Amino acid sequence: MGLCFSRGDRSTPRRRPSKRITNHSAAADGGVGSKRWTRIRSSRKEENLIHERALAAAILFQQQLQNGGVGTAPFDRSTSLRYPTGNSKKNQALPRSSSSRARSLTDPLLQPHQLVNQDIKLDNLETSHFVLVHGGGFGAWCWYKTIALLEEGGYKVTAVDLTGSGIHSFDTNSITSLSQYVKPLTEFLEKLTDGEKVILVGHDFGGACISYALELFPSKVSKAVFLAAAMLTSGQSALDMFSEKVEPNDLMRQAQVFIYANGNNQSPTAIDFDKSLLRDLLFNQSPAKDVALASVSMRPIPFSPVLEKLSLSEANHGSVRRFYIETLEDNAIPVAVQECMINKNPPEQVFRLKGADHSPFFSKPQALHKVLVEISKIP
């Protein structure tokens, strides 16, 4: 998660040209009249069931932690390592966002066949396997809408829990390096067969994590997608990037709670967030049920990895195609900070999600899905 400490004023870098695409989904939302709202009503029971199950799982996990860690009913690992099943029914309706807000045209209610061009054969793509890497404090659970949409379109999806995140039982305060934090991701990439490639998607601090992985396994990554994420240059840490005085972020400072597991006279071991400020900071455009899910599922962010400077080479990290997705209503990593990262380290293309907060997998799942599919099809 972006840490906003003030440093000396720095001049804004000269903007370098980068291809930018703003997501417009209105044209795809044909027949917006009564049929659209009929679909919303018909999916209400199913979406409520999905949310209730997700909340129940999160609450059970929270109870396990409070009872001393791993209990007598361990979670099935399949909740964080997801693969499409061979007998999934293509015509089943997908769970919809349960937001009480009027759905905007940037994220219309669409059926899977409207989101994925049926003329595109996934076999013709370099890879149809997405690996989703969560941000600081989040876990694989946050991608549940994205997983469902991608799998329905025929993609293979893996969502990992980084060390001490999600259902990974390791104590966050004991994580001392970025390599330790990213180990579940690097172990997964290491086990890929020769010639097998994936599309890495990193959210928030997950951007620094996928950059670390690109340096180690460039031949196993087809494309890297930074979603409102830390996109660092060599020699930078996440703290360096987010400490640059682009614009003040008082909300972030107010929300941060530092944890000193080794004593108050030692460096912080982790960062947590004030639960009362979570909605305003991370979920200001997200449905209430997703905010509730996050409030019982988020865990502290290990502090040491945030301080670690990356060593990235042009031969490895620089050889992988990079794409950035901006979130235009982001209160955690404001657009100005995202633009600063883009200008300093320009990716191949920049996509913009209108109306998306820092958690577009909750606030704009359909629009995010469309962009991910589009990136996968870029030759």
Residue 230 has pLDDT above 60, yes or no: yes
The type of residue at 129 is H
Contact criterion met (CB below 8 Å) for 294 and 282: yes
Residue 19 is predicted with a pLDDT of: 58
Among residues 204, 240, 290, 357, the one annotated as catalytic is: 204
Please indicate, yes or no, whether the overall pTM of this predicted structure exceeds 0.75: no
358 is catalytic: yes
Pick left, alpha or beta for residue 204 (phi over 0 → left; psi -120 to 50 → alpha; otherwise beta).
left
113 is catalytic: no
**Mean predicted lDDT score pLDDT of the chain:** 79
If DSSP codes are grouped into helix, strand and coil, which group holds residue 138? coil
Contact criterion met (CB below 8 Å) for 16 and 95: no
Residue 124 is predicted with a pLDDT of: 78
Domains present along the chain, CATH in parentheses: 129-377 (3.40.50.1820)
Distance in angstroms (rounded) separating the CA atoms of residues 304 and 324 = 25
Q: What is the pLDDT of residues 261-293, one digit of tens each?
A: 999 999 999 999 999 999 999 999 999 999 999
Residue 250 has pLDDT above 80, yes or no: yes
Among residues 107, 161, 330, 357, the one annotated as catalytic is: 330
Q: What is the mean pLDDT of residues 53-71?
A: 51
For residue 74, give the DSSP letter: P
Between these two residues, 20 and 206, which has the higher pLDDT value?
206
